[in-house]
Amino acid sequence: MTNFTRKRNRIPGFDYSSANIYLLTVCTDRFQCIFGVVSSDGDTPHTILSPLGELVEEAICRISSIYPNVTVDAYSILPNHLHLLLRLDPTDAPNPPTIGRIIQQMKGFVTKACGKSVWEKSCHDRVIRSEQAYEDAWNYVTYNPAKWETDEYFTLK
């Protein structure tokens, strides 16, 4: 039997509560297309959210009210994953939220509201370290629905 080793998805020793900008991708369990469908009707392709997708959007919109030092700069919800561009501002709080805690809370809100977990175990993250990287990440998140059919997570399931 072959032992499976999960690839590390965090930078060793990095403080994920530090003031930075993060690009996050959170996927559904087994990449199920349950958040909606991408529509090309109109000028700009966009996701028509399912009721579950609307719950996800509500969870995203709640992040800044739960964590005052966190701003959602951009997000997009696709049928089986979502992208977030989160900005963590400096805080004097004794236990500032980590990216892990923020995502765990968001996933938990959706799980509790729909009565079951719909999420992949972890999330993918990237620390944004320059203005150009920020611009690239913002464009990626904002225009991702237009690229749905060529997205690495594209599936019809």
- Give the Cα separation of 112 and 92 in Å (integer): 30
The residues of the chain scoring below 70 in pLDDT are 1-11, 156-157
Host domain of residue 80: 21-146
Q: Which residue has the tokens 């959170």?
A: 26
Question: How high is the pLDDT of residue 64?
Answer: 96
Question: How high is the pLDDT of residue 4?
Answer: 45
Looking at the structure of the chain, the number of domains it has is 1
Question: How high is the pLDDT of residue 10?
Answer: 63
Question: How high is the pLDDT of residue 2?
Answer: 52
- Within a domain: residue 13? no
**Ramachandran category for residue 100: left, alpha or beta (phi over 0 → left; psi -120 to 50 → alpha):** alpha
> What's the pTM value of the predicted model, to 2 decimals?
0.87
Q: Which residue has the tokens 């990626």?
A: 140
- Residues 135 and 142: beta-carbon distance below 8 Å: no
- Within a domain: residue 6? no
- Within a domain: residue 3? no
Q: Other C-beta atoms within 10 Å of 155: how many?
A: 11
